[in-house]
Structure 1
Amino acid sequence: MRPKALYVETVIRTDLDTLWQHTQDPALHRRWDLRFADISPIDGHFRYTSRFLGVTVTGVGTSAASCTWPDGSRTSVLRFASADPLSLISAGAGFWRYTPLGDGVRFVTGFDYGTRWGRSGQLADRVFRPVFGWLTAWSFDRLRLWLETGTPPEEQALTAPSAARCVRTRPRDRADSQVGAPA
Structure 2
Amino acid sequence: MNMMNIMVSCLCLSVVVPFLMSVQYTEAQRVFVVGEGTGWTTPQDSSTYQSWASNNTFAVGDILSFNFQTTRHNVVEVSEESYTSCTSTNPIGTVYNTGPVNVTLNRTGQHYYICSIGQHCTSGQKLAINVLASALPPSTAAPPPPPPPPMSLASTFSPSSIPFLFICSFIFVFLDIMHGP
Structure 1-normalised TM-score?
A: 0.23
Compare the two structures and name the one with the higher strand fraction. Answer: 1
Structure 2-normalised TM-score?
A: 0.23
Q: Which has the larger radius of gyration?
A: 2
